[in-house]
Amino acid sequence: MIVQQNVSLKAYNTFRLDVNAGYLAVVDSLEDLDEIYQTGRFRAQKKMILGGGSNLLFTRGFTGVVAKNEIRGIQVQNETEEDVLVSVGSGENWHQFVLWCVERGYGGVENLSLIPGTVGAAPMQNIGAYGVELKEVFHSLEAYEIKSGKTVSFFKEDCKFDYRFSIFKGELRDDFIITKVFFKLSKKPTFNITYGAIQETLEKMGVTELTLKNVSQAVINIRQSKLPDPIDIGNAGSFFKNPIVEKLHFEALEAQFEDIKCYPIDDEKVKVPAGWLIENAGWKGYRDGDIGVHHKQALVLVNYGMGRGKDIFKLSNEIKKSIQGKFGIELEREVNVV
């Protein structure tokens, strides 16, 4: 296992924040996890596991051990005429896995193209985009119990998936490390192109026949046109969740703000796009030194270069306060703050 001491984490978080880790250990097996958590010299240190670093805001350095997950491997476990069960090491890059599926004609994850991060982080927050959520293709996962070093299986019901949520973000936070994820993918895919601009983008691309490749490419095009690439501008995708509000509250807002948008949830609740709220509170394109709110998507906070995590955190509090004041809605952060 490769271990470095006193390392900058700038290359390991998509906000590109320049903070230091006491140690950075590259973990690619269960034995490595045992060495860090059970037997080796780090037992007494604080530890955190790091995937792609794409949903993280470092407000300070981390004095203990940062374990970078590089657990790899993609394998077909079982196959029928209809579908295929695939196991994926949690350190695999999510988008590379999506491309692997698209290449082989395995459907279900194409709408989730180009989401940054690792496969292991995907179930943590039930990633979603363009009308599809991870839970729809999720079969089960294996996770390393930090306390005991044992591997435990979790099936779909065990994970308590919800909008950008799972048990691993809730009651089991910090108890397990996801090591392997099993997906059930379809060999006879049905396409989900009703959401957002997919249809329109496919038309623009001149697509006449729907294929996994075309849909994946349409999603890639939309994301690239709206979301900043962390290689150019540091960011962690959506910074806040889209808030779920009472219908009555929404109707009162609609009377005041005619073009406010919502997605139905149930008879009593709707989901309101936080991007709309933030834009209409005047924050879109806001910049203070090297931090700000992206000019094309107000839900994305950005670091233009030398920005600091604490300032981004402070800005997020100011945005929260302003949305509370103007719309009476409480925004909740989607990113994990360290």
For strand 269-271 and strand 263-264, is the pairing parallel, antiparallel, or unpaired? antiparallel
Is residue 321 within a helix (H) or strand (E), and if so which, with residue range? helix 309-327
Q: Is 164 annotated as catalytic?
A: yes
| DSSP bridge pairs for 336 | 56
Q: Which two tokens stand for residue 133?
A: 């959520």
Instruction: Catalytic residue, from 164, 223, 308, 316: name it.
Output: 164
Instruction: Catalytic residue, from 166, 238, 308, 316: name it.
Output: 238
Nearer to ligand EPU (CB atom), residue 36 or residue 253: 253
CB of 306 to ligand EPU, least distance (A): 23
- List binders of ligand EPU among 159-218 (CB under 6 A): 196
CB of 154 to ligand EPU, least distance (A): 22
Cα 68 to Cα 3, 82, 119, distances in angstroms = 10, 36, 13
Q: How far apart are CA 234 and CA 17, in angstroms?
A: 8
Radius of gyration of the CA atoms of the chain, in A: 21
Contact between 275 and ligand EPU by CB under 6 A: the answer reads: yes
Q: How far apart are CA 275 and CA 243, in angstroms?
A: 10
Interaction mask 72-91, ligand EPU, x per CB under 6 A: --------------------
How is 244-308 classified by DSSP, letter by letter? EEEHHHHHHHHHH-TT---EE-SSSEEE--HHHHHHHTT-TT-EETTEEE-SS-TT-EEE-SS--
Contact between 297 and ligand EPU by CB under 6 A: the answer reads: yes
Contact between 279 and ligand EPU by CB under 6 A: the answer reads: yes
Nearer to ligand EPU (CB atom), residue 107 or residue 230: 230
| Nearest one of 242, 228, 239 to 295, comparing CA atoms | 228
The residue within the footprint of ligand EPU, chosen from 273, 304, 310, 336 (CB under 6 A), is 273
Nearer to ligand EPU (CB atom), residue 49 or residue 227: 227
Contact between 133 and ligand EPU by CB under 6 A: the answer reads: no
Q: Is 334 annotated as catalytic?
A: yes
CB of 31 to ligand EPU, least distance (A): 33
Nearer to ligand EPU (CB atom), residue 1 or residue 197: 197
Q: At 153, is the secondary structure helix, strand, or coil?
A: strand
CB of 14 to ligand EPU, least distance (A): 10
Interaction mask 306-335, ligand EPU, x per CB under 6 A: ----------------------------x-
Interaction mask 222-251, ligand EPU, x per CB under 6 A: ----x----------xx--xx---------
Contact between 64 and ligand EPU by CB under 6 A: the answer reads: no
Nearer to ligand EPU (CB atom), residue 61 or residue 196: 196
* Residue 326 CB burial class (10 angstroms; 0-12, 13-18, ≥19): middle
Cα 338 to Cα 62, 82, 300, 309, distances in angstroms = 8, 43, 18, 9
Q: How far apart are CA 52 and CA 300, in angstroms?
A: 17
List interacting residues with ligand EPU (CB under 6 A): 129-130, 196, 226, 237-238, 241-242, 261, 273, 275-276, 279, 284, 297-299, 334
